[in-house]
Amino acid sequence: MAFEEKVKIRSYDGRTDRGRVEDLERRCEVGPAQSVLLFTDTMGDPICRIRNSPLFKMLVAELNNELVGVIQGSIKMVTLATPTRDPAVVGYVLGLRVSPFHRRKGIGSSLVRRLEEWFLSNHVHFAYMATEKDNEASVKLFTEKLGFVKFRTPSILVNPVHYHSLRISRGVEIAKLKMEEAEYLYRRFMGSTDFFPHDIDRILKNKLSLGTWVAYPRGESWSELRCDGRLPTSWAMMSVWNSGDLFKLRVAKAPLSCHIYSKSSRLIDRIFPCLSIPALPDVFHPFGFYFMYGLHGEGPRSGALVRSLCRFVHNMATECKDCKVIVTEVGGCDGLRPEIPHWKLLSCPEDLWCIKALRKEDENTLLGLTKIPTRGLFVDPREV
């Protein structure tokens, strides 16, 4: 307790804290020599990952004028898989970092609790966070010390961008939707999905959202939607978010063999695309990525149509010099998961979401949430 009294937790001040937060981020990426690390370049804006959320906050922890910890949080209204399907206000916890020299001293717990106080002051019902399933330290902190419970295990699927375009079936039509059409379809078909954001219109209007596309069998008409609400016998849709305009990623500490394979495979892919050699893009320098969100399909051919949309997004990405990979996150039991192309080497088959009721009256609701198996999950691109 005496130690915690020396720690000062306050709101982030971009004028004085930006450089110190970036330095802390770099120091927190240090790990075992045999590990492959993923570095994040926020391009001078440490708060970039939550800046597009409806309400957000960053807290920092100081000890003897040294910045030793940081945490971020955002608030929004979503749908949860409760019997009544009532909207809930949720707070997302992310970006928890504690200096390697000051860990196991209660700083991380103090930051989370202070963020929860901010959540409560803004009438949040549930707090949730995401971490790697194998991140033992993070899982223990949140589930054993902070009262969170394991909630969902979605899959993060990552696919590299090649030099050449991929062929799309001639039997498929792909059309870009107007924002109003996309919002209508999302609210109609995904409005009851876990974590569907009630401000989906703001997401679709955001400058980072490149658009929403729908795929359907050639020969059928999509324009009927505007007339009487009818849809093709099979169709699929997805939206694309340009995360590379927010921050960059870089892989470090990869073995020499990975560097050699990356260069050689890209060269072969460029000169002999017909060989279809799996090429590893240059991920050892800062790169951007596209995030596919809002994946949904209806009808017997929806799986094939999702595959066509993924190829379409890949071809879009080939025209962006900065985009090296395409990422999406879907529920672990989502029926569309097998249709999304990805590299197992780059993907995470089981991410872990944990959740906590912040008010006593919501504890029974939380108990029901954790027992209800759900297939669908809407991952907000603003929280990637």
Tens digits of residue pLDDT in 91-123: 999 999 999 889 889 999 999 999 999 999 999
Is residue 301 scored above 50 in pLDDT?
yes
Confidence of residue 338 (pLDDT cuts 50, 70, 90): very high
Instruction: Quote the CA–CA distance of 175 and 312 in Å, as a whole number.
Output: 11
Per-residue pLDDT, 31: 39
Confidence of residue 2 (pLDDT cuts 50, 70, 90): very low
More confident residue, 60 or 27: 60
Question: pTM score > 0.75 for this model?
Answer: yes
* Mean pLDDT value across residues 289-311: 96
Whole-Å CA distances, 368 to 146, 322, 371 = 20, 44, 5
- Does domain 158-346 sit in CATH 3.40.630? yes
Per-residue pLDDT, 30: 43
Per-residue pLDDT, 116: 98
Q: Domain spanning 8-153+350-371 has what CATH number?
A: 3.40.630.30
* Mean pLDDT value across residues 275-303: 88
Is residue 29 scored above 70 in pLDDT?
no
Tens digits of residue pLDDT in 133-151: 888 989 999 999 999 999 8
Tens digits of residue pLDDT in 355-378: 999 998 888 888 777 776 666 789
Is residue 131 scored above 60 in pLDDT?
yes
- Among residues 197, 238, 227, which one has the least CA distance to residue 76? 197
Per-residue pLDDT, 349: 86
Per-residue pLDDT, 293: 98
More confident residue, 363 or 12: 12
At 100, the amino acid letter reads P
Per-residue pLDDT, 228: 60
Tens digits of residue pLDDT in 304-329: 999 999 999 999 999 998 999 999 99
Q: Which residue spans of the chain are classified as CATH 3.40.630.30? A: 8-153+350-371
* Mean pLDDT value across residues 287-299: 96
Tens digits of residue pLDDT in 216-275: 999 988 875 655 667 899 999 999 999 999 999 888 777 777 777 677 877 777 777 766
